[in-house]
Amino acid sequence: MKKIYSNIFKVNNKNLSKALNCLKKKQLVGVPTETVYGLAGNAYSRESVGSIYALKKRPYKNPLIIHYYDLKRLEKDAYLNKKFFKLYKAFCPGPITFILKKKKDSLITNLATSGLKTIAVRFPNNKIIRKILKQLKFPLAIPSANKSTKVSPVSAQDVSVDFGGSLKLILDDGSCDIGIESTVVDLTSKVKILRPGFVNPKEIGKVLKCKVTIDKKSLLIKSPGMLKRHYSPGIPMKLNQDKAKNNQAFLVYGKNYKKGRHIFNLSYKSNLNEAARNLYKTLRLIKKKKYKIIYVSKIPNKNIGIALNDRLTKAAR
């Protein structure tokens, strides 16, 4: 069993100003967002961003998402286009990340954007992280607060398992509302989804009045970090299975499955949003119970189910 450290703090004014002070001193803080918990650092500081990569053991060629409070602050760093404004109006603040062209005179450290000419930006919709962003004079680089390739955290305790001793402060805002990372949409040329999330291609297409596809090829080239195995519980997984033996964990969806010690139902009510909220939590639980293999039933490939299947496919690689 991994040790849980006592650096988890409930949210109150005193602890919020502690968090702000850490960030101003270029230290990292574990923060809640509506999607997953993140590891936050000053996006203008090479030192802060360097510690994010080091702590996560993340390859430098995998760029980070820069988190903003509002448009005023973003205008200094990125070229904003019509499509961006439409999607911003429809979904922000919320679980969507935009790839835009980065301005040459932006203060965002090149380390955060892996030296690319583009920048990933997001306006998270969690009141704690918004309070923090509002009070800072710099935006925050915030990747998910897990070691590279591992399962993302959906509670302050999850963050502590991966980073316990090395973080001074993790702000505890309970379980994440969504439980799966933001949708990443590339707006630098033809609109495409690089990472599916809560906001689905249909909804984006409706706002932009065009067909929006998930571009798997471009995902491999443009999001280098997603080439390899990702979101992995560290146990082999087999997808689209009808049944499993008693000594195999069976991750299922819907009420057609019997109850049993080895059966882990993501949503008995067949609710895809509930399944997304439960996914990472359940993968961690299965690992804790020391199963050697995970069988996974079929999950409907619509709405947030597209993101669920994306994560499961990558975790199974």
Residues that bind ligand TXA (CB under 6 A): 33, 35-36, 38, 62-65, 97, 99, 113, 116, 118-120, 122, 124, 142-144, 181-182, 184, 194-195, 222-223, 225-226
What are the residues whose beta carbons fall under 8 Å from the beta carbon of 315, sequence distance 6 or more?
A: 151, 229, 230, 231, 232, 233, 237, 283
Nearer to ligand TXA, 153 or 305 (CB): 153
Specify whether the backbone of 174 is left (phi greater than 0), alpha (psi in -120 to 50) or beta: left
Q: Which of 49, 99, 56 is nearest to 74 (CA)?
A: 99
d(CA 304, CA 307): 5
Total residues interacting with Mg ion, rule: CB under 5 A: 1
Say whether 204 sits in a helix, a strand or coil.
Answer: helix
Beta bridge partners of 176: none
Q: Nearest approach, Cβ of 99 to ligand TXA (angstroms)?
A: 5
Nearer to Mg ion, 48 or 144 (CB): 144
Say whether 13 sits in a helix, a strand or coil.
Answer: helix
DSSP summary character for residue 60: T
Nearer to ligand TXA, 33 or 45 (CB): 33
Are 87 and 98 in contact by the 8 Å Cβ rule? The answer is yes
Q: Nearest approach, Cβ of 235 to ligand TXA (angstroms)?
A: 21
* Residue 93, binding choice from Mg ion, ligand TXA, none, Cβ under 5 to 8 Å by partner class: none
Residues in the chain: 317
Q: Which of 33, 113, 144, 267 binds Mg ion (CB under 5 A)?
A: 144
Query: Phi/psi at 29 (nearest 5 deg)?
Result: -135, 140
Contact region for Mg ion (CB under 5 A) — 57-65, 75-83, 141-149, 162-170? 141-149
| Structural tokens at position 188 | 């630098």
* β-bridge pairing 118-122 and 65-67: parallel
Nearer to Mg ion, 142 or 294 (CB): 142
Q: Nearest approach, Cβ of 282 to ligand TXA (angstroms)?
A: 19
Q: Nearest approach, Cβ of 84 to ligand TXA (angstroms)?
A: 14
Q: Nearest approach, Cβ of 290 to ligand TXA (angstroms)?
A: 27
Nearer to ligand TXA, 48 or 297 (CB): 48
Q: Nearest approach, Cβ of 268 to ligand TXA (angstroms)?
A: 26
* Residue 187, binding choice from ligand TXA, Mg ion, none, Cβ under 5 to 8 Å by partner class: none
Nearer to ligand TXA, 36 or 286 (CB): 36
Query: Phi/psi at 145 (nearest 5 deg)?
Result: -90, 65
Nearer to ligand TXA, 130 or 195 (CB): 195
* Residue 35, binding choice from ligand TXA, Mg ion, none, Cβ under 5 to 8 Å by partner class: ligand TXA
Residue 90 burial (C-beta neighbours within 10 Å; 0-12, 13-18, 19+) = middle
Q: Nearest approach, Cβ of 245 to Mg ion (angstroms)?
A: 32
d(CA 112, CA 295): 37
Q: Nearest approach, Cβ of 113 to ligand TXA (angstroms)?
A: 6
DSSP labels, 116-128: -SEEEEE----HH
Nearer to ligand TXA, 45 or 297 (CB): 45
- Which residues of the chain form contacts with Mg ion (CB under 5 A)? 144
